[in-house]
Amino acid sequence: MEVSKSLGVSRTKHIPADIGYDILRRLPAISLLRFRSVCKNWLNIIDNPSFAIVNRSTRTVAEDPQILATTRLTTVKTVHTLTYDGYVIKETDQNPTLQLDDDCYIDHAAYGFIIFRTLDGRLLLCNPLRREVLALPPLQQSNVSKVFKLECGTGFDSTTNTYKIVCMMKNLFLPETTLGVYTLSTHSWRILSSPPTSSGCLELTGEKVSAYGDMHWMARCCTTKSMMIGSFDFRKEKFKKTAAPNFGCHYHMINLKESLAVIKFSANNEQIEIWVMNDYERGRWVREKIVSTRLWVREPTVDDICIGACDDGLIFLKRDSLQVFVHNLKTNRIRYMDHPVIAGGPKKSWSELMFNCTGNVLSFRNFNNISPSLPLNTISIFLS
Amino acid sequence: MAIMYALKSSDNEIFEVEQKVIEQSETIKKMIEDGAATGEIPLQVSSKTLAKVLEWCKQRQHKTVENENDDNKGKRKKERDEDDDIKEWENKFSDELKADKDVLFDLLLASNYLDLPALLSFLCQLVADMVAGKMPEEIRRMFNIENDFTPEEEKAITAEHGWAFQP
């Protein structure tokens, strides 16, 4: 019998389901969104929330879309998605990506999600890759936003494989603080009875970064007033102090390739130092790189710039000039860019906050209460 | 003196292999432990694929033996050089497989059948890197997957994340 060898044998063979799954879990989020339309079986795998969790712990971070959220100081109702291809930033969609029902501020971005805060203190959880928005139930029933200060952070509890949001509502007039943890898989809040900090007291500032499953705030010790990092441990569900480099000066905190990193400017602004926490359990920091800022057109200083990470570099948004530039840490090249959304807006209206994280393929559809999703001023999804 | 085993491919070719090399396969290791491996071990793997499997196993074995013989002095530098050598070898191995997808898919099935977790994981990553930028239609052709959506269903699912389809 003649067997045609040229056609090859594998064409007639099917890849077993477990091997197919093993390949899928290694793919970047953007490929997965595309491969949903391959067949019903793949659609079911990719849309399963447990797959999204396996995927985030397996895939190669470098290939992921980077989500970079920046916002105006004013509230937003529209989310634009931009892509950066290594050369220019351009709009991905002709129309705004999402329309939010309410005026919102971006509170932070973490683990692939952007968390919006409405004026009356409600939280919206958005997955920009999925174009989905989930309205969180209120932490407290009464409408008390006017007299409360709200602080929240997002984390991933690896013991229960679920995303959680911690929220602290501080009464501005009474010594009264409500601390609650929202769990995505149950779509509900649980009020914590323990005091906000395990030892002493930490005053959280607005600057925060997600890494290692937890949320980390720049914090000030209430008694000594010294700067430190306060973290919420999502497995133990309590605040703790995280070892911080003791520079004696202000620095920026970012998420650099899934690690907590700080950027410190030298006294004359001629160089920046990048310190990375390479051992979260032991609280160990190493200086990873010193980068000269001499190639920058006009040296921004520590106070007039916000920093995020993307691709192989750092992205800088200079507040007074609305200039965006990327410093590639591998090649040491700098690229200045026009930002399609920033360029059109008024000057000096940009917040000092910029958050970056990698994309998440998780869909809220298998949970409850998807608000009619159709929401920043800019969300830039960077694709390498 | 190393213990040798004879492996017989599905097209009746015999491969003489050291026990240590072939024991990386959990399937064969179990056969040996159960005493089922007397004489020739028949395998449902073609000679072309089996040759590739053994190429991988020998490289891995080589690496383990060398590490055992190392003394600590100068080990770090040596390890670095070895890592480079392994990378180079793996790149060459990958390039050959990328060029011949039939061999790649057969090897994937063989690594699953022979229970070689390291090879399976290596190949899955290789395939993932190869398919990451592709379109659904290319994926279906590559994996021999039938499109079980109606055209309307497919259009609706594609439209949900239309931006992801941009080049």
Q: Which of A174-188, A319-333, B14-28, B42-56 has the lowest mean pLDDT?
A: A319-333
Q: CA–CA separation, A99 vs A79, rounded Å?
A: 7
Within 8 A of B143 by CB-CB distance, chain A residues are: 14-15, 20
Does B163 contact chain A (CB < 8 Å)?
A: yes
Within 8 A of A22 by CB-CB distance, chain B residues are: 120-121, 124
- Whole-number average pLDDT of chain A: 79
Residue B133 has pLDDT above 90, yes or no: no
Whole-Å CA distances, B110 to A25, B11, B47, B89, B122: 21, 14, 11, 20, 13
Question: From the CB of residue B84, how many other CB atoms can be counted at a distance below 10 Å?
Answer: 10
What are the phi and psi torsion angles at B124 (to 5°)? -60, -40
3-state secondary structure of A50: helix
Determine the pLDDT at residue A60.
Answer: 66
Q: Which of A2-6, A67-71, A131-135, B58-62 has the lowest mean pLDDT?
A: A2-6
C-beta atoms of B127 and A33 within 8 A:
no
- A129: DSSP letter: T
Query: Residue A346: CB partners within 8 Å, gap ≥ 6?
Result: none
Q: CA–CA separation, A131 vs A114, rounded Å?
A: 11
Does B48 contact chain A (CB < 8 Å)?
A: no
Does B105 contact chain A (CB < 8 Å)?
A: yes
Query: Residue A238: CB partners within 8 Å, gap ≥ 6?
Result: A192, A194, A198, A232
CB A203 within 8 A of CB A222: yes
Q: Which of A253-257, A326-330, A377-381, B105-109 has the lowest mean pLDDT?
A: A377-381
pTM above 0.90, yes or no: no
Q: What is the pLDDT of residues A85-125, one digit of tens each?
A: 777 777 766 666 677 777 788 889 999 998 988 888 889 99
B107 min Cα distance to partner chain A (Å): 10
Does A62 contact chain B (CB < 8 Å)?
A: no
B41 min Cα distance to partner chain A (Å): 23
A131 min Cα distance to partner chain B (Å): 8
Mean pLDDT to the nearest integer, A152-180? 89
Determine the pLDDT at residue A376.
Answer: 29
Q: What is the pLDDT of residues A2-57, one digit of tens each?
A: 333 333 334 456 788 899 999 999 998 889 999 999 999 999 999 999 999 999 88
Does B121 contact chain A (CB < 8 Å)?
A: yes
Residue B122 has pLDDT above 70, yes or no: yes
A295 min Cα distance to partner chain B (Å): 32
Determine the pLDDT at residue B70.
Answer: 54
Partner residue opposite B161 with nearest CB, options A33, A39, A40:
A33
Q: What is the pLDDT of residues A215-255, one digit of tens each?
A: 999 888 777 777 889 999 999 998 888 988 888 777 889 99
Query: Rounded to a whole number, what is the largest CA-CA distance in chain B?
Result: 66
Does A365 contact chain B (CB < 8 Å)?
A: no
Calculate what percentage of chain B has a pLDDT beyond 70: 87
Quote helix, strand, coil % in chain A, to nearest 5: 10, 45, 45
Question: From the CB of residue B122, how many other CB atoms can be counted at a distance below 10 Å?
Answer: 19
- Any bridge partners for residue A258, and if so which? none
Give the confidence band of B60 by pLDDT, cuts at 50, 70, 90.
Answer: confident
Strand pairing of A334-337 and A350-358? unpaired
**ipTM here:** 0.87
Give residue for tokens 């998605």.
A81
Determine the pLDDT at residue A270.
Answer: 85
Determine the pLDDT at residue B110.
Answer: 95
Residue B44 has pLDDT above 70, yes or no: yes
Mean pLDDT to the nearest integer, A308-314? 81
B94 min Cα distance to partner chain A (Å): 16
Give the confidence band of B163 by pLDDT, cuts at 50, 70, 90.
Answer: confident
Does B124 contact chain A (CB < 8 Å)?
A: yes
C-beta atoms of A31 and B106 within 8 A:
no
